[in-house]
Structure 1
């Protein structure tokens, strides 16, 4: 890795404060995402719209996130991270209040778009804030901690939403999210002072994408993101279970990923990434087939657990590899690596539900899961072609579940 000057310290915004704000921002965004999973597909307005419209509703978050991410980079460059952090906060507050209405469909779609804007602004600003206040040598570790907070939001969201719906109604998860967003907003206002900028990390996502092998890594990240997002909008209606049951099932998936991630991460620097990612491709194919042909709840549970394990097998190696690709770019960059990672992840979040929603409406649930398994197997296999044969222990940046 090339030597860089340390990021200039910014009075009042220490690396610790930046890490707290950044981690809280991405946690809050993914908490709301998780809270919506067992609730949105079962709302009357969404059920009446059909599976295809449900897929559009779920994928619209990622589409808005991608667009906002592209603009967020320019806003951060001009004004620093604090402005987009506050823009993201306003968008998140609007999304939670709109979700609480429960419909009509177009209003929920507007809420989902606002949530995507919040995610795009907050993610880029949060990671940029960490990059601007943390030395390049310690930045990878800090980024890994921030990205790991995503897992907590994904894990807590679905079962918590199910519990709240069962006891307090469909609006309660989003009102709860509004309260969490308020606390998050206080952290953003109080802890972020001034407009710190990155001084030693000039490369962007396109810089990293030009490095040989990066396209394969990006494809692996997108497949890993599409694994679960493709099931989220269609499984609740297919099962016809309560919100609490749906929340627990998806919570089980996230728990499986959390448990599997450290085990996979242990072998990231010793085993071939192709072996790990290839195992993930096989696991996701089997998982989707099990879910598609399941006739009992315990069979579906097995498929979802396997889905969580496959997510760890796909994302732990690619998260490490994307950081290494950034270290090989000219100029070397970690910020550009994670920007590219976020774009690839959002692309997977958009493509998964969009495809499964239309496929379920046209062919039925079992056929849709079979087709999704086949497509992800092909894309995952294609990603193995350019994946580096080995990762480097000295550039490992952590894992993301």
Structure 2
């Protein structure tokens, strides 16, 4: 399928229902993803929008259609899958009832890039050139925009995913840990009576010693909610490092390790696409952590441009404008984003020290 193996992919939920002989599956006429369900409520038409459908692991990303081999191989009912529509398609108009209820005309209902990262990548304010994106929040998604899926031994080995994008593009990306570790540390400290703001936490990390330790932020033991600092210290002890008690030091280690993970993924992206990436665009709520943004520039040795925070909402709105002819192209859409939001640029610092730490801890 060209999609990264992840436990949250829809294929496993559907297979579990079939294996358990769940009665709902036998009664199902159409399987509708959540975003498409809202479109159905608005206009009455059942469709499966391409970018969201692509993440189910039930699609052949070479064709952009449901994979008959997957459905037949797993004995799943392909009849329940709606027709796939591309983002930017006008799929109908508001039903008379909905239009009357909200007091407007029967305006068009547009299938946008309904996967949130698809809309976020649409709103990356990039100029033409060799750029990559990082959608930063609780989780991180790093990748490049390419014209067609790359499904080969390298992408399989690196656990990359080929997800659908807007305007006929593919989002070749890797799912990475994000700010989840820091969020869980903050909640743990709050439960213990230390209610620290993110600004305070970042300031504590800024003052902590650099390169005190390293963790693999993608270790599966970090995925579950709950007390995070004991798990971080268990990881440190397992890897022959010294446990940390200072809150600021813990956060700094997490941020530095996350930035180094970004470098590792970036190197693999460049290996797959066969060229160097010149600039990384970071969008999403994570850009408010300016220390992490600077660390990312340092670790990558590349220019980093951040903004907008609400890239998903911007991409959604602008694809609606594209669908009704108010915007002529994806390039024009991105120029609107560049001219509408405040962006910030970070240049690499202390490159030699970051490279030394990277080579010490990354195979």
TM > 0.5 fold call: no
- Structure holding more helix per residue: 1
Q: TM (normalized to structure 1)?
A: 0.27
Q: TM (normalized to structure 2)?
A: 0.29
Higher relative contact order (CA 8 A, sep 6+): 1
